[in-house]
Amino acid sequence: MKIAIIGLGYVGLPLGLQFARKGVEVIGLDVDQKKVDALNAGTSYIEHIPSAAVAEQVSAGRFSASTDFSDVSGVDAVLIAVPTPLSKNRDPDISYVLKSGEAIAPHLPKGIVIVLESTTYPGTTDCELREVLEKGSGLTAGVDFHLAYSPEREDPGNPDSKVEIIPKVIGGLTPACLEKAMAVYSHAIKTLIPVSSCRAAEATKLLENIFRSVNIALVNELKTVYAAMDIDVWEVIEAAKTKPFGYMAFYPGPGLGGHCIPIDPFYLTWKAREFDQNTRFIELAGEVNTSMPMYVVEQTIAALNSQKKPINGSRILIIGLAYKPNVDDDRESPSYLLLDLFKDRGGEMAYYDPHVPVIRPNREHPHWAGTLCQEWTEANIASFDVVVIATHHERINYEELGKWAQLIVDTRNAMKGIELPEGKLWKS
């Protein structure tokens, strides 16, 4: 079997390597020549994917990368794993999906299986993507080629999250499409979960992330309420976790980050309007979660004021640029919002993240590109008026931080168990 995977990022690359490990010949397609060159040289550009894992499959001849989308003419299946961001008005941007479809359509052989993995609203696969593929190829979906949707379920940084053992939901345009798609994934994934349609599979992915968004919003709101009552929300969550049924722990933070939770729920919000439906839980959760960076700023201002320091002119260090612990993924990270909000108020900004040595160009915050990570030394950390912990990486020495920093605002309960002088630690 030979497959192509379009999009060689945090989803496409590990998926391609998993297929290759199982003996499938994989062509990775991407528009970024630098990524293609790195992979063909056996080098990974994603921190939690070791270069050795790439080099092994390249050397074995099971994995190669290319920018030539006509290569799909010689494969049995194409899996599309490209970004699906939001516009500034929170409208879905499926342009990467449609451009991928346009690029491969003229080269599709009869009988090929096309599967979309990118998170999107119900109807994208069997409407917009189908239309692009049929128009460009002259073929008919469900007759001349097979079309399906199977949402990605990557969890970067989680050592227990392995592509092979994460159950794979799959929905096909027709029963035959579903059967063919399942046959493709059966080469690499142990457990397959068939559903009745592409739309049911698309809706499944949205439900998973909406569930998380709403529950995170709940604990974020409770954080502010309990703080006003002088109750530590982290202590409350730990106590609630002891209930063996009917409760699942979610944790507050400085805002939402990553490629899923801040974005995906609004794909359904947008689509629901077409059916005159309101998504009040999603909208409210979005309001609560997007207000968290400002709450952190307000708490930091209060912390500085307790030491008779104004925010204007204060040196502020953000700990953690990645959106979650132990990864280098900074997409949609609330740390960028904190950098902007503090800078707008006169703060002199810097960051420390052992996983992000330099800020790479990004679409939302290009003005921070090229900024270097600070050095982890006592003299340097002590030179900042306040340190704000936005991401709780395991590689950070919080004991040293407690000794060195003048003032700490902790949004992740990272300083739990570390004794500090009264007034030095503020939770936010």
Q: 127 an active-site residue? A: no
Give one DSSP letter per residue of 257-323, joined into a string. Answer: -SSSTTTTHHHHHHHHHTTT---HHHHHHHHHHHTHHHHHHHHHHHHHHHTT--STT-EEEEE--SS
pLDDT reported for residue 263: 86
CATH architecture of 2-203: 3-Layer(aba) Sandwich (3.40)
Among 127, 177, 198, 260, the active-site one is 260
Beta bridge partners, 64, equal 27
Beta bridge partners, 348, equal 315
**pLDDT at position 174 over 90:** yes
Query: Quick one: how far is CA 92 from the chain centroid?
Result: 16
DSSP letter for 109, please.
P
pLDDT reported for residue 259: 72
> Residue 30 and residue 65: Cα distance in Å, rounded?
8
- Give the confidence band of 159 by pLDDT, cuts at 50, 70, 90: confident
**pLDDT at position 309 over 80:** yes
pLDDT reported for residue 158: 76
pLDDT reported for residue 268: 92
With a pLDDT cut of 70, the percent of the chain lying above it is 100
211-428 CATH fold: Rossmann fold (3.40.50)
> Residue 43 and residue 26: Cα distance in Å, rounded?
16
pLDDT reported for residue 409: 98
Higher-confidence residue of 309 and 90: namely 309
> How much is the average pLDDT of 207-230?
96
Residues 317-357 pLDDT 10s: 999 999 999 999 998 899 999 999 999 999 999 999 999 99
Higher-confidence residue of 313 and 91: namely 313
Which regions of the chain carry the CATH code 3.40.50.720?
A: 2-203, 211-428
**What mean pLDDT is reported for the chain?**
95
Amino acid at 416: K
> Residue 237 and residue 409: Cα distance in Å, rounded?
19
DSSP letter for 43, please.
-
- Give the confidence band of 256 by pLDDT, cuts at 50, 70, 90: confident
> How much is the average pLDDT of 47-51?
92
**pLDDT at position 157 over 90:** no
In 127-170, which ranges are continuous DSSP H helix? 130-137
Write down the pTM of the prediction: 0.92
> Residue 398 and residue 382: Cα distance in Å, rounded?
14
